[in-house]
Structure 1
Amino acid sequence: MDLFTGIRPLLFSYVLINGIFITLQTKEEVLLDMKASGGELGWLTWPLDQGDKPGWEVVQKTLNGSQLYTYSICNVGEREQDNWLRTTFIQRRPSASRVFVELQFIVRDCNSFGASSLTCKETFNLFSSESDADVGTTFRKGQFKKVATIAPDEITGKKELRINTETRVVENLSLKGFYLAIQDIGACVALLSLRVYYKICPATIQSLASFPETVAGGENQALREVSGECVENAISEGLPRIYCTVDGEWVVPVGQCQCKPGYEETEDACKECLPGFFKAEASSGKCEPCPANTQGLDTGALFCPCMDGFYRAPTDPPTGPCSGLPSAPRDLVATTSHLSVGKLLLSWRPPEHTGGRTDITYSIECLRCEGPVCQSCGEKIRYEPANVGLTLTKVTVSELDAHLNYTFTVEAHSGVSAFASQAMPQAHKLPLTSALTTSLHYTDPPKITSMRLVKQNPTSLSLSWEVSPKPRVQARPIRYELTYRKKDDNLDVTTYTVLILEKNSVQIPDLSPGTAYLFRVQALGSDGSPGGSSIEEQYETLSEGHLAHNNTAVISGAAIGGAVMLLIVVIVLFLHRRNRNSHTRQGPEDTYFSSPEQLKPLKTYVDPHTYEDPNIAVLKFATEIHPSHITKQKVIGAGEFGEVYRGILKVPGRKEVAVAVKTLKPGYTEKQRQDFLSEASIMGQFAHQNIIRLEGVVTKFKHAMIVTEYMENGALDRYLRDHDGEFSAYQLVGMMRGIAAGMKYLSDMSYVHRDLAARNILVNNTLECKVSDFGLSRVLEDDPEGTYTTSGGKIPIRWTAPEAIAYRKFTSASDVWSFGIVMWEVMAFGERPYWDMSNHEVMKAINEAFRLPAPMDCPSAVYQLMLQCWLQDRSKRPRFGDIVSLLDKLLRSPESLKAIADFDPRVSIRLPSTSGSDGPPFRCVPEWLESIKMSQYGENFTCAGIVSMDQVMQMKNEDIKNIGVRLPGHLKRIAYSILGLKDQTSTLSVFAV
C-alpha cells in the first residue's frame, strides 16, 4: 500500500523552498553525501523480491538539470515488516576511527491511516558493518551491528510535512571501509538525506607555531596530541604541542614560539625590525625604537650603537640609551657657617646638563699655597664624607691651617666619564676661582675663651669676655652676639633677648632685682657666620635690700671715704656714657624680644618645595633604606599614591621593628613621584613622640617607598568607633593632650598642618596618639600674619576654620580650630562632625554662629576649650602651648572632669524634618536606629517584640540592657535618643495644639 505517494510532490517543493542541501565546510571531511552525488545512488534493497509487498523505493526528481533522489517506504498495513536499505561501500581514512551519520527524514503519523495503522510503526533502525573490501550485492544481516533506533522529534500528518534531522556516531572503526543500512519494521518513512563525515582540526598557526590538519580523536582518545614547528625566524625552548578535541577544535597549546632577536611578530609570521628599531632577545614583543642618542641604520638590528660623543657605561644594558658627559658643577661656594674652627663647608649646584644620567658623582681637588708656591693638600686636610665618589653637593673640609690660600676644584663624573677623560680632560671641571676669587684665604673664626662679671646692681649687669686668637686689624671689626634670659624652669613662657655688639663688653640695663640670668656669647665673622660659643654662664642682680644696705654704709663712711666716693662717681659717669653709646649702636634690627607666643625653637621647618631638585630634599631629610631590608606582610590600607602595607624593617646591626610601608602605584609620573616623596622630606624634619616617626625612604630603586613606624591601632576615628564607650573621660583627655603636644611642636617650627582630623591621627598599642598625613601641610610665611594661601585644591570643610574656607589663608590658629573639631570627635567616640549635614549646610551654620553641641558625658571644661578653639576671631583662640598647659592641668586634677556639660539630644542626635507631623519623627524602628548609627541592634529590638516607635518611647534604661545592649557608650546613645524623641514629640504636640 503506497500511502506516501500523495505527499511526494509536496515533499519536493518543501525541499526546494527550504534549501535542505546543507553541508558543513569547516572542521568536517565528508565521506558520503546522498544529495551531492548527483546520480543513481546504487544502494541495495533487501529482500529483493516481496511479491506484492513493495520495499524501499527510490524517487527521482530533476531540478535545474540535476537529479535528486529520495528513498521511501510505507507498508503500514502489513505485519512483520523487515525491509533493508544498504549504502554502497564507504572507504575510511585510516585515522578516522569515529564518523558521524546525519539523517534527514520524514515519518508519517500512524493515526492518520485510521484502521489500517494497527501494525504501523513510527521508528526505524540504523546499522553498520565493517569490511576490508567491497562485497558487491552480497548481503548478510548477521554482519551488521545496530547503531541506534531512530525516532522522529516531529511526525507528519495528512497535509503538512515535518522534516527531522538526527545525527548518530559510529565508533571504533578499524577496517578499510564500512556499510550503513537502514531497517524498516513497518513505518511510513521517507529518507531525504544521509551524510557521513568525520571531524578534523584544520591546519593552523597559533603562537607562531604551525600545526598540520589532524583528524579528531574518538571516544578512546578524546584529546589527540599534535606536535608543531615554529614558523620561519621563530624559535622555542621546547617542542610546541597542541591538542585536537573530538569536536575538531584546537585546545591547550603547550610551548610558545617567539620571534628571534631582530624580528617581531606580524600576522602569524616573524619579520625583520625596520631601520631605527631593534629587538635584543627572542620574545613575543615588538621591535622598540632606538633609545636616545643612538642610531639604527640596518634592518633586523639586535641593538642600536651610540652616536658620536655618546657612550654606554659597562654596567648599562646594551639596549639602553647612550649618555653624554655631564657639564660642570655650578655656583661653588665656601663658607664657615655653622661649622667649628678649622672647617669649611664647600657646596655647589648640580651640573646644568647631566648627559642623561643619574649616577652623577663628584670629586674634590685641593691646592695649598704658601706665598707663590702651591702644592697638593694631600693628607694634610680631611674631607667629610670623602673627596671622591660624592653623591651630595656638599662636603666638609677640616684641619685647615689659618692664613693660607686654598684653591678647590670640584669635578663632576658619571658612568661614562672614563670614555672621554683623555679627549676632553677639562670639559667638566669648575674651579672655585670661576665662582668666587682666584684663591681662598682661610682664617679661623674667633672663639670666646672666658666671660666675667664686671659689675652688678639690682637693675643691671656689666659683662666682658676674652677672644682667641686675637683678631688682626680688619677693615670691619668683629661683632658679637649676646643672648640672655631669666633662669626659669617653665620654658613655655621664657623670653630671650639677643644683642649684636661690636665690643667685647656690655652693660645690660632694665633687669629685675634679685634675679638670676643665663648668658651666652659668640663671635661673628665678617660674613656674619658664628664662631666658637662660650659655655652658658649665670649671673644675678643684687636685691633692693642689699642696695639700701650699701647706701647706708656709704653715708656713714662719707667722712673717711671721700676719696673713694669721688672715684666711684667717676666710674659711674664712665659706665653711664658707655651704656648710652651701647644703646646708640643697638638699632631695632639688632635687638628683638620674643613673647611666649612668638618664641621659636632652634630648629625651623624647611619647605622641601623650595628646593630646585626635590630629590636633594629627600636625601637631606630622610634616610635611604635598601629594599632588601624591608619585608611587606599584608595590605592595611590605601593612600592617594598607592597601597599601604604592614611590614618588618631589619637593618643590619639593629633590632627588627614593625613598620608601615607606603608604596607608589605603577605607572606614576615624575611629578607624582616627587609629590609622594615630599611627604617624607617633611616628616624627616620632625622628631617628637607625638609626631609619626619616619624610618626612611626607598628612592634609588624602581619602586619608591616611604617607611614609618607602625601604629597598631590605626586611625583614631575608626578606633574610637570600634571601642565606643570603653574609655573614661580621663583617658580621652590624655589622648587629646598627646595630639596637642604634637601640634605645639609643629607650630613652634613655623609649620601649619591644614588637615588635622581624627582620621589623620594614628594610635599605637599604648593608646599614644601621633599626628600623621602631611600631604596638605605647608610652611608658614615669615610675615606677622603667618598665613599660607593655597592655589586651589580640596579643603576638608568640616574641620577647617571659616577664614581658611573663605580666603584660603591658613595659620596655626586655623589648626587650633581643627583641633577643637578633633576634640569633639574624640569625646563623641568617632562620630562624624555635623553628622549628615552637607558641606554647604555646615558653612552656612558656622557663619550663623552655630557650633557643635557638647557630646554625651563631655566634661564641661573640655567643651569650653572646644568653644574657645572655635572663636570667630582667630586672634582670640588659644595657642597650642596654652592648650597643652590646660589639658595638663585637667589631667593633674581628675576631679575637674566630673562636671559634665549640658547635653541636648535634640541637637546632638540629628533628626529628620518633622514639619507637619504630630507623632514620632521616625516611621519605624530600623529607620530610627540607622539615624543614631546603632543598626547593629535591630535584631535585638525585633526579638524583644519592640517593633513600633511608640514601644521604643516607653523603654527605660533597664529595658535597653535587657534586650542585649551592654556597651556603656551604646547604652547612653540609645537612652539619650529616646529622651530626645520624648521631648520632641511633646513639643510637636504643643505646636499641633
Structure 2
Amino acid sequence: MEILYMFFASKVLICVVLFQWEVVQKTLNGSQFYAYSVCNVGEPEQDNWLRTTFIQRRPSASRIFVELQFIVRDCNSFDASVPCKETFNLFTSESDADVGTTFRKGQFKKVVTIAPDEITSKNGMRINTETKVVDNLSRKGFYLAFQDIGACVALLSVKVYYKACTATVESLARFPETVAGSENQALREVKGECVENAQSEEVPRIYCTADGEWVVQVGHCQCKPGYEKVGDTCQECQPGFFKAASSDGKCEPCPANTQGLEAGAAFCPCMDGFYQAPTDPITGPCSGLPTAPRDLVATTTQLSAGKLLLSWSPPDDTGGRSDITYSVECQSCEGGACRPCGEKIRYEPASAGLTLTRVTVSELDAHLNYTFIVEAHSGVSMFAGQASARAHKPVTSLSLSWDVSPRPRLHAPPIRYELTYRKKDDNLDVTTYTVLILEKSSVQISELAPGTAYLFRVQALSSDGSPGGSSIEEQYETLHESTVGDLDFFGGAVMLFIVVVVLFLKRNSHSRQGAEDNYFSSPEQLKPLKTYVDPHTYEDPNVAVLKFATEIHPSHITKQKVIGAGEFGEVYRGILKVPGRKDVAVAIKTLKPGYTEKQRQDFLSEASIMGQFTHQNIIRLEGVVTKFKHAMIVTEYMENGALDRYLKDHDGEFSSFQLVGMLRGIAAGMKYLSDMSYVHRDLAARNILVNNNLECKVSDFGLSRVLEDDPEGTYTTSGGKIPIRWTAPEAIAYRKFTSASDVWSFGIVMWEVMAFGERPYWDMSNHEVMKAINEAFRLPAPMDCPSAVYQLMLQCWLQDRSKRPRFGDIVSLLDKLLRSPDSLKTIADFDPRVSIRLPSTSGSDGSPFRSVSEWLESIKMSQYSENFTCAGIINMDQVLQMKNEDIKNIGVRLPGHLKRIAYSILGLKDQTSTLSVFAV
C-alpha cells in the first residue's frame, strides 16, 4: 500500500473550505483533536462543500482507496421538527493540472453516499471508519470533495492510497513493484528477470492480484553453472567445489583426483598424472594409468601342436578404473634380431581387447625364440602414448545413408531420392536450402562448416517424379576443429540412418463418385484413404479412447511446470520417458479434481479425435492416461506456444516470405483434415501452435465435428457459443459448418498472421462484426501485406461458399508464391485510418486525443510513452510534425512498431478521414 494523500484537520491548509465547513477542536476520552465540521441542521437547502488540494496520481494507479474517519450526530438529538440528515456525499474530479482555489460543482461526479455505522448521541461521540473505492482514474491527478446537505458531521481524517504488490524476489526471479489492477483486471501479469548469475529457459512471470498480493509464479530461475543458491542470490562455488549445470542444487566437492583452484568452477580439472576418458562425464573423478600386468607365465602343454598358453595377473594398480583390457604382442627373435611374428600366429580368443587374463597362442614354429609382450589398457591409456594410431575425424564432411521401408503391396520401388539440408541456425530472414537428387540411398556431403548443426530430410521419388514418403527432419553436427586429434579413430565418416516410408498409390481410372457436395469432391478427385470417425458415435466413449489413443503409464510422465490452463484443468510442460525410447518433451493436459464422469468423457474425447490424425502440421498425440485416478492427455510440446501470442511478441521481426511459409503449413494441415471429411469449426491463430523450427501445427479440437454423409456435407450444431470473428456467415446464420466455413476461418487466420497477431475487427462488438459482414464489408489488407496474399484472403471470404477455394487449391497457391518470392514484392493498398482504427486526430468517440500517451495507447504502442516524453514531444501538434527519422531517433527500433507509428501519424494528418472498412 502506498499513500498518495493524508490530512488531519489540524493542518488547515490541506483542504479548501467552501460553504460553511469549519475547523473545530473537540475532546474525546480526555484527548483533544481537530475536525472539519458542519452542523447547520434546521436551515433549509443546505449545500456545503469541502475540497482537498490537488492529489497527484501515479500513472499506473487507476484505482485508489479513500479511508475516512468521521462523526455523525444522531438526528433524534435535535428537535423533531428540524430537517436533519445523517449522511454526506463523496465526489471526485480529475485534472491534468492544479486549478488552485477554483471550484465548479459541474466538474465533480459523485462516487458514493456515506452513512455511519454508529451515530453520536448526546451522551458521547462515536468515530466511524469507512473505506471507499474510486476507480478508472486516467488523468495526472484528481480532487476529492465532501458535500453536506443537512447533516451534523465532523471529518477527522482522510487517507488516500492505492494497493501495490511490493518489489520481491521469488525463486531467484526479481519482480518490480507493481500497482494492483482494478476489479475488472483481477490478475495483472508482471514479467521479471533472474537475479545476477541465474538464468531461466523462459522469462519468469508472476501475477499481482487486485489486493496487492503476488500469486502463481510461472518460470523458474536457476543458478548458472559454478554458482549455488544462497537465500535470494546465486553465489560462486568456493575453491574445491563445483556445479556443472543450471539447477537449484548446491555446489559439490571436487571428485577424486581433481582440483578446484578457483571459485565459480563448473567442473574440476584433473590433477597432474590423472585423466578422464572421452566417454567419462566431466563431473566425474579422474583416474590414473594402470600399472603393468604381473606374473606372466607361459605353459607349453601342447608344444608339439605349436600351442602356448599365456596367463598373467592383473595390475597392482588399475588407476581407479574398471574398464581394464589387455593386448598381446608377439615377436620372433633369431640371431639377436627380433621382428613381429606376422599374421601366421593365431590367438584365442583375440590378441587385443582381452578382458580375461589369459590367451592361447597357436601356429608357433619349433626351434624359434618367441617374445610376448602383454600390456594393460584402460579408457585413459591414450594419454600415455599407448593408444593405437590416431587420425582426424572429418570436420567438413558427413556420410549419410538411409533405409527404405516399403509399404505392403508396393508395386514400384523408388527410383530416386531428394535430399534437402540446411544449417540449423540460419538467419531467420534468409534460409538457404541445398537440394540433391540422388540415384542411391547414400551420399557423401563435403564442404560443410566445422562445429555446425545441419538439418536433413529425405524424400523418395517415383519413376514419374511424383513425391512419396518423407523422413522427419533430423539433426547432425560436424565436429569443432578444436576437438580434432583428441579422439581415437574408429572410422572416417559419421553414418546417418533415416527411415523413409515410401507410399506410392496407383491411380484407379474407374473410381466411384457419389452424389456429394461439389465443394468437397470433383470427378478428378478420389475419396480419402482414411475417414475420420466421430468418437461421440460410440455407445461407450472409453472404447473410442482405447481404439484411437495409446495408454501411457503415469510413471513414464514427469511434470515440470504449468504452462497454461485449459477448460478442464492445468496444462504442464513435461518429459515422457518410455523404456526403449528417447526422452521426449511433451505438453500434459490434466483433468481438475472433482470432475464428473461426463466431464471426463468430454475431456478424453479430444484425444479420441487427435489420435486419428498423423500429419506434420497437426499436433501429435503421444498418448493418454485413463486407467488411473488422474486422467491426462499427452501431446508433443511446442516451444513457442500459440501463434497469435508468438506473433505479437515478435511484431515486425519476420519477412512476408516467412509468414507465408507459416500459412502454408497451416493450410497443409487443414487440407489433411478436409481430406478426412473433418471440420475443425474453431480455426484461429490462438489454436495454432509453433515449435522452435517455426513449424505451425493445428490444435484444439474441442469444437470440431465430422462431416456427415448428407448431400450438403454439413454439421448442424445444437446451440452453444461460436467464435463470431472467425466464423463464416452461413455458419453463424444457420449453425451449419463445412470445410468451406473452415476456409473462411483460414482467411481470418491469414489476416492475423500478416497483421502479427492483431485482433480481427479490432474493438468492434460481435454484433457490429456480423452486421458489417452481412453488408459485404471485409477486413482491409494488413500493413505490408503482399497483394497476392490479400487477394487469397478475399477469395476465402466470398459470400457463396461453393466459390471459395478448397484447401488443396490454397496449398498449391501458397507453394507457387514461395517458389517465386518476387511475387510477394507487390504490396496491397493499406489505409492506416482503417487498419489502425483512427478517425482523424480523434479517439474512438470522435473527440481529439487529449495527450500523446492516449494516442499511443489507442494504437497499442503505449510502451513508448516515456520515449516521447524524454524527447520533449508532449502534445499532438508535435506528433504531427514527426518524420520516420524522428521516430527512430527517440528509440523506436522494431520495424513493425516503427511502421505502425508512422502510418498512424499519416492517418492523423488526414483531417477528412472517416472510420470505414473495405468493401468487396
TM-score normalized with structure 1 length: 0.40
TM-score normalized with structure 2 length: 0.43
Question: Relative contact order (alpha carbons < 8 A, sep ≥ 6): 1 or 2 greater?
Answer: 2
